[in-house]
Amino acid sequence: MKLHITSSPALLFLALAFLLPGISFAQKETDSTTTDPDPVAVVTQQVAALRSGDSHFMMVGLATFGFVTQRTTNTLGGIKTTDKFNSLGDADRYEFSPMFLWRHGDKLLLEFEPSFNGTSIGVNWADVSYFVAPGLIVRGGYIVLPFGIYSKRLAAGWINKLASDPVGINAAGSDFGVEIEGGLPLGNMKWSYDVAVSNGFQLNPDGTTAGVGISAINNGKTVSGRLALLPFSNSSLEIGVSGLYGSLATPTGSTATYNNPLTSIYGFDLNFVKNLSPIQINIKGQYNISNVNSQRYISPADTTQSYTFTNTTNAAFGQVSIRPTQSKNKVLKNVELAFRYVSYTTPNNSTWGQKYSEQDYGLDYWLSWRTVLKFTYENIKSDGTSSVDLSGAQGSTSIHRMILQFSTGL
C-alpha cells in the first residue's frame, strides 16, 4: 500500500479553532485604538460559529516492542538443517499504531488507525460511524470485517495474553465496505449482531485467496456477519457464530479457467470470564472452516496441465489464563499465567498444504490495566502435505521461540 502524505483539513480546522482565540486576544491588546474590524477576530468568530460545541478530537492507539530468539529445524528428505535467529524489536510483532478519533456531535464518529510494523506503514482501518439509535450503528469505509472474536476484540497487544497472534484465525481480515452493528437486551440475556457487505476476495492460481481492496475487480460482493448471545445476566459468557459468503474474482491475465468460484467461511467462538476468589479465570476460543468450491488449478509441476484438490482450510485456537486479581499481595495480583493451543490445517495436495500446531506458554506482569510485560514461549510443529510441488517432497519444520514483549494501550 502506498503512503500518501497530504494536509488534513480536519486537523488544520481544529488548529485554527484552538489557536486563533489567543491570537485574537493579543491583537486586541496592541491595536485597541483602531476603528477597523480586526480581521483575525472576524475569522475567529467565523470558525467558532462553524465549530460545534460538542465536537472532540482524541488520539489513542497501541504500541508493542520486544525481543525474540528462535531456533528453526527443517527436515526434508531425511536431511535436517538448523537455523538460529534473534532480533531486537521483534520484527514480526513490533507495532506502533496511533488511532485518531474525531466525534462530531452525538451521532458521528471518524476513526483512522495507521500502523508502522518496522518496515512499512499501512492502515488497520479508516471508517466513519453513524449512531442511528440505541443498538444500531451504521459504518462505512475500510473496516475490520465482522467475523469471529479475535480480530475485533483480542488482537491488540495490550489485550492479547500471548505475544503473537494465532495462525489462520484472521480469515476475513479488513476490507472496504458498509457495516451495521448493535445489540439489544433479550429478557435477562443480551444479544448482538454485526453484518457487513464488502468488495471481497480474488482466487489465486494456487487456490489461495486475497482481498481485492478498493479496486473491486469482481462485480459480486461478499456478505459477512456475526451473531452473539450472552446468556447470563452478568455477561460472563458470550457465544458467537460467524459466516462469510461471496463470489471470487479472478486475477487479470490469469491463464486458469475457473467455474464460478465462490468462497464460504464459517466460525464459532467463545468468551468466558469468571471471578473465582481469589483468581480470575479467562477462557477464549475460536474455530474457522474456509471453503472454495471445486475448481481446477494450473499444475506447478507441468503448467500445461491442471489438477484439483479439496480446497478446505481449518483453523482453531483455545486459550486459558488465570490471574489472582483479589490477592492481597501487590506483586502477585499483577501476575497472569496463560496457555494457548493453535491448530491450522490447509488443503492436502495443494502447494501450500500443511498441518500446523502450536503450543504457547505465557507469563505476564501487568504494570497497569492497559500496560503489560509478557514472556512467551512457543513450540511450533508444521508438516507439509503437498505432493504436487516441483520437488515432490514433503518436509517438516520445528520452531522453538521465546519472546519478551512490552505492550501498552495509548
Residue with the three cell numbers 457495516: 179
- Over residues 222-232, the mean pLDDT reads 96
Average pLDDT of the residues in 377-395: 77
| Cβ pair 158, 369 in contact under 8 A | no
What residue ranges do the domains of the chain occupy?
A: 8-51, 56-409
pLDDT of residue 56: 86
Confidence check: pLDDT of 8 > 90 = no
Cell of 304: 500445461
**Tens digits of per-residue pLDDT, 289-303?**
999 999 988 887 777
Place of cell 525481543: 67
- CATH fold of 56-409 reads Porin (2.40.160)
Predicted TM-score (pTM) of the model is 0.82
Tell me the per-residue pLDDT of 102-154, one tens digit each, with 9 for 90 and over: 998 889 999 999 999 888 899 999 999 999 999 999 999 999 999 999 999 99
| Per-residue confidence band for 393, with pLDDT thresholds at 50, 70 and 90 | low
**Over 60: is that where the pLDDT of 17 sits?**
no
Number of H helices, E strands in the chain: 3, 21
State the pLDDT at residue 214. Answer: 86
pLDDT score of 5: 34
Residue 172 has pLDDT above 80, yes or no: yes
For residue 134, give every residue at least 6 positions away whose Cβ sits within 8 Å of its Cβ, in sequence order, or none.
Answer: none
DSSP symbols for 283-339: EEEEEEEEEE----EE-SS-TT-EE----EEEEEEEEEEEE-TT-S-TTGGGEEEEE
pLDDT at 92: 73
In the predicted model, what is the mean pLDDT of residues 190-197? 96
Q: What is the mean pLDDT of residues 254-276?
A: 89
Lowest pLDDT segment from 276-280, 299-303, 354-358, 391-395: 391-395
Spatial separation of the C-alpha atoms in residues 285 and 282, rounded to whole Å: 10
Q: At what angle do helices 9-30 and 39-50 cross, to 10 degrees?
A: 140
Contact between 179 and 201 under an 8 Å Cβ cutoff? The reply is: no
Which candidate, 125, 170, 129, places its Cα nearest to that of 143? 125
Predicted confidence (pLDDT) at residue 51 exceeds the cutoff of 60: no
